[in-house]
Amino acid sequence: MFKLEVLVTLKKDVLDPQGKAIEIAAKNINLRNIYSVKQNKYFEVFVDKVPTQNKAKEIASKLSKSLLANEVIEDFKIIKCRKV
Amino acid sequence: MFKLEVLVTLKKDVLDPQGKAIEIAAKNINLRNIYSVKQNKYFEVFVDKVPTQNKAKEIASKLSKSLLANEVIEDFKIIKCRKV
């Protein structure tokens, strides 16, 4: 089995309302040094019954394209892949 | 200014309904090698007007405890801190 880590981030210039809400909340609780916050998604994907790392990456890439990321507004990146 | 990366993950044994939904959806679109998926949050936090990395980490840690993570069901970890 392979464990892959997939990072899904908003594309540049796409509004991040959750990040904005955290920035405002930080000011409200007197954390005034917080300049900005961006919230992203981070997935741990376990791929089973594949022979090679490359095949696992290919499957995780398909999964990301179809389910994890909305490629209109988000980018995804497979940041790690290791055998477990 | 310092850029910190904070990873917020569900504690072990806490149900992850979003991950589960992705697993089921993956089966429905015939990605049968997906064994399991876990969805986590990943924040990019910019901390301004602090003298040292340690101070920046301290502030990001306060932010995580009060706003980014619900420590009853989630863990957080500052995985990177660098000057930008």
Length of chain A as a residue count: 84
Expressed as residue numbers, the domain containing A23 is: 2-83
Tens digits of per-residue pLDDT, B1-41?
Answer: 999 999 999 999 999 999 999 999 999 999 999 999 999 99
**Is the CB of A29 less than 8 angstroms away from the CB of B68?**
no
Residue A26 identity: A
Query: In chain B, what are the helix, strand and coil shares in percent, each to the nearest 5?
Result: 35, 40, 25
Alpha carbon of A56: minimum distance to chain B alpha carbons (Å):
9
What six digits make up the tokens of A51?
Answer: 């022979």
Tens digits of per-residue pLDDT, B45-69?
Answer: 999 999 999 999 999 999 999 999 9
ipTM over 0.90: no
Q: In what order do the strands lie in the sheet containing A2-10?
A: A74-83, A2-10, A34-47, B34-47, B2-10, B74-83
Residues of chain A with Cβ-Cβ distance to B39 below 8 Å are: 41-43
Calculate the alpha carbon distances from A36 to A31, A64, B1, B53, B77 in Å: 11, 27, 11, 17, 18
**Is the CB of B37 less than 8 angstroms away from the CB of A47?**
no
Residue B22 has its nearest CB partner, among A1, A49, A67, at: A67
Cα-trace Rg, chain A: 16
Position A68 scores a pLDDT of 97
Structural domain count, chain B:
1
pLDDT over 70, % of chain A: 100
Residue A40 identity: N
What CATH number is given to the structural domain containing B47?
A: 3.30.1280.10
Tell me the DSSP string of A16-43: -HHHHHHHHHHHHTT-TTEEEEEEEEEE
Per-residue pLDDT of chain A (84 residues; tens, 9 = 90+): 999 999 999 999 999 999 999 999 999 999 999 999 999 999 999 999 999 999 999 999 999 999 999 999 999 999 999 999
Residues of chain B with Cβ-Cβ distance to A29 below 8 Å are: 66-67
Rounded Cα distance, A82 and B5, in Å: 22
The helices-and-strands tally (H runs, E runs) of chain A is 2, 3
Position B50 scores a pLDDT of 94
Query: Which among A65, A47, A63, A45 is positioned nearest to A55, based on CA atoms?
Result: A47
What six digits make up the tokens of B18?
Answer: 């979003």
Which of the residues A20, A33, A64 would you substitute to probe the B interface, choosing the one with the greatest number of B C-beta atoms within 10 Å? A33
Position A17 scores a pLDDT of 95
